[in-house]
């Protein structure tokens, strides 16, 4: 191999070997290591002109000790980092959790997946964590019993522990307090704790927190849980036989999606859930009669919970059975057509603000007559229940929070958590929580194993087989400053 010297600017590099069995591009890479000039910027003068990357060394006739001239500018020298690199495992655990992008998993303490999945879904609500942080023993309501207070404190402490850790957390203290408050979760069979219903755990925990966070000293206000999760319903009851009519209002913490042979989508199931028949005594007939009960939403929460009524009691086998039917649900849910006339009127201005902002993002003229159709047709959920794949995410939610203006609900919600059940019986099987993080990524919390998931796979948890299927969906409201 011949050895040459290379002159570049004011520098001379002696004794540079050329492997003539390799193309000139390899030689240029050697010079890149010496000078920092990338091969594509190098201009090397040889007999016959410039050295090409794929030239034949035998035709160039390079001689031993020959002096070559090179022109070209080097890449900017990369400065050494001011601080030494820090490996994630060397960071404090709080910073590790931020770097990972999601909080820790929860160890299964023996058929406690129903509890773990519930906790992971509710833990994703920052406003709930804020209300819990402001809860203190001195600020609790005088009417609150000791076991409810202890369960609230255990929830607060466990949420804090999840935020501080990357490694799985054992929710032992929370589980002990939960069983003390609600003994049904401590049922055993053959010396082992039994599987329980996640919806019952979800409902009982929300009820307890709604009682404990009513404290007037709470900075979040007396109705923290009601504003976060409470749904007000106004119902009209009509008896066709007697012609009697009456109305009533009630507060609930979830909407029910009833499943039957003609329900294929969440929209249809919710419609069934808001319309039912019941039997009660008719004053005018002086006997029992059938009443039709039709409900409308009169007040919406920040987080809308939907329960798929998949479990029912099977009399012939004397056990709880599961409806496996596939029921699709959307990433974006609009409940406008389930609302009362009064609530619809309140929603119109915020919905217009949201529509104008999204039209502006799409390049459409704000207030265009073609886009300003009747409000009842704006952003409504399609009957098929499919999400709007091309919908533009609203930035008004964050604007409402930062502007200081009062945020207003729009009736449009985005899916942020799904609690699924796998198996054919409520007394067995496995529960998992699927939670959308603040960075927009979805994480499957399978007890102590957090697993990243794609958003398009979340809506595939709709049932129809033995795979995980949605049992509870939690949606977050889109709000606008008006």
pLDDT tens digits, one per residue of 267-284: 999 999 999 888 888 888
The pLDDT confidence band at residue 20, using thresholds 50, 70 and 90, is confident
Does residue 230 carry a pLDDT above 50? yes
The pLDDT confidence band at residue 307, using thresholds 50, 70 and 90, is very high
Alpha helices in 36-125 (DSSP H): 57-60, 93-100, 113-123
The pLDDT confidence band at residue 373, using thresholds 50, 70 and 90, is very low
Cα-based distances in Å from 241 to 155, 274, 288:
50, 21, 11
The reply to whether the predicted model has a pTM over 0.85 is: no
Q: Which residues of 96-129 are buried (b: 16+ CB within 10 A; e: fewer)?
A: bbeeeebbbbbebbebbbbbbbbbbbbbbbebbb
Contact 358, 394 (CB under 8 A): yes
Q: Which of 90-104, 365-379, 436-450 has the highest mean pLDDT?
A: 436-450
Q: Which of 66-75, 135-144, 289-298 has the highest mean pLDDT?
A: 289-298
Q: Work out the percent of the chain whose per-residue pLDDT is above 70.
A: 82
The active-site residue out of 123, 149, 430, 449 is: 430
Helix (H), strand (E) at residue 394: none
pLDDT score for 279: 87
Mean pLDDT calculated for residue range 332-358: 94
Q: Cβ contacts of residue 377 below 8 Å, gap of 6+?
A: none
pLDDT score for 87: 56
pLDDT score for 218: 46
Does residue 370 carry a pLDDT above 50? no
Is 430 annotated as catalytic?
Answer: yes
Mean pLDDT calculated for residue range 32-45: 87
The pLDDT confidence band at residue 346, using thresholds 50, 70 and 90, is very high
State whether residue 151 is helix, strand or coil.
helix
The active-site residue out of 102, 113, 121, 267 is: 113
pLDDT score for 140: 62
Ranges assigned E (strand) in 155-286? 188-189, 192-193, 231-238, 245-252, 255-258, 275-282
Is 421 annotated as catalytic?
Answer: no
Does residue 67 carry a pLDDT above 80? yes
pLDDT score for 60: 86
Top pLDDT among 426 and 181 is at 181
Does residue 98 carry a pLDDT above 60? no
Does residue 322 carry a pLDDT above 50? yes
pLDDT tens digits, one per residue of 402-426: 555 678 999 999 999 999 999 877 6
pLDDT score for 285: 86
Please state which of the ranges 41-50, 87-96, 207-216, 283-292 shows the lowest mean pLDDT: 87-96
Does residue 216 carry a pLDDT above 80? no
The pLDDT confidence band at residue 382, using thresholds 50, 70 and 90, is very low
pLDDT score for 264: 93
Q: For the chain, what is the mean pLDDT? A: 84
Distance separating alpha carbons of residues 446 and 196, to the nearest angstrom: 16
Q: What are phi and psi of 287, to 5 degrees?
A: -160, 175
Cβ-in-10-Å burial (0-12, 13-18, 19+) of 340 comes to: middle
Distance separating alpha carbons of residues 338 and 331, to the nearest angstrom: 18
Does residue 191 carry a pLDDT above 90? no
Contact 376, 352 (CB under 8 A): no
The pLDDT confidence band at residue 30, using thresholds 50, 70 and 90, is confident
């Amino acid at each position: 191999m011949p050895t040459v010297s290379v002159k570049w600017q004011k520098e001379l590099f002696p004794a540079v070997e050329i492997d003539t069995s390799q193309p000139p591009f390899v030689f240029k890479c050697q010079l890149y290591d010496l000078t920092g000039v990338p091969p594509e910027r190098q201009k090397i003068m040889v007999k016959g002109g410039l050295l090409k990357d794929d030239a034949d060394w035998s035709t160039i006739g390079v001689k031993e000790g020959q002096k070559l001239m090179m022109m070209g500018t080097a890449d900017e020298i990369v400065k050494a980092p001011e601080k030494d690199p820090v490996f994630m495992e060397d960071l404090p655990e709080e910073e590790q959790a931020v770097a990972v992008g999601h909080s820790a998993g929860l160890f299964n303490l023996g058929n406690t997946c129903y509890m773990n999945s519930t906790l992971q879904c509710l833990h994703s609500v920052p406003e709930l964590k804020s209300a819990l942080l402001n809860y203190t023993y001195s600020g609790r309501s005088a009417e609150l019993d000791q076991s409810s207070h202890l369960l609230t404190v255990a929830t607060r402490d466990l949420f804090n522990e999840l935020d501080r850790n990357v490694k799985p957390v054992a929710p032992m203290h929370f589980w002990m307090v939960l069983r003390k408050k609600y003994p049904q979760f401590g049922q055993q069979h053959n010396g082992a704790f039994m599987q329980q219903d996640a919806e019952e755990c979800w409902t009982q925990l929300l009820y307890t927190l709604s009682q404990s966070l009513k404290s007037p000293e709470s900075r979040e206000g007396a109705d923290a849980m009601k504003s976060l999760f409470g749904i007000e319903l106004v119902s009209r009851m009509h008896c066709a036989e007697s012609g009697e009519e009456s109305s009533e209002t009630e507060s609930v913490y979830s909407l029910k999606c009833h499943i039957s042979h003609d329900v294929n989508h969440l929209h249809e199931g919710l419609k069934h859930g808001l319309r039912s028949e019941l039997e009660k005594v008719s004053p005018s007939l002086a006997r029992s009669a059938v009443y039709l009960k039709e409900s409308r939403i009169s007040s919406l929460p920040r987080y809308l919970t939907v329960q798929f009524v998949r479990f029912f009691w099977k009399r012939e086998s004397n056990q709880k059975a599961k409806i496996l039917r596939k029921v699709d649900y959307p990433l974006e849910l609009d409940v406008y057509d389930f609302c009362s006339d009064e609530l619809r009127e309140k929603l119109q201005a915020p919905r217009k603000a949201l529509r104008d902002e999204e039209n502006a993002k799409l390049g459409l003229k704000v207030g265009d007559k073609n886009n300003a159709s009747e409000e009842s047709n704006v952003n409504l959920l399609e009957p098929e229940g499919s999400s709007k794949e091309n919908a533009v995410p609203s930035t008004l939610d964050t604007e409402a929070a930062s502007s200081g203006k009062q945020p207003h609900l729009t009736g449009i919600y985005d899916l942020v958590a799904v609690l699924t059940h796998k198996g054919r019986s409520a007394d067995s099987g496995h529960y998992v929580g699927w939670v959308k993080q603040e960075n927009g990524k979805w994480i499957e919390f399978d007890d102590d194993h957090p697993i990243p998931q794609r958003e398009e796979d979340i809506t595939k948890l709709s049932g129809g087989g033995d795979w995980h299927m949605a049992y509870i969906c939690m949606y977050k409201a889109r709000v606008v400053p008006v």
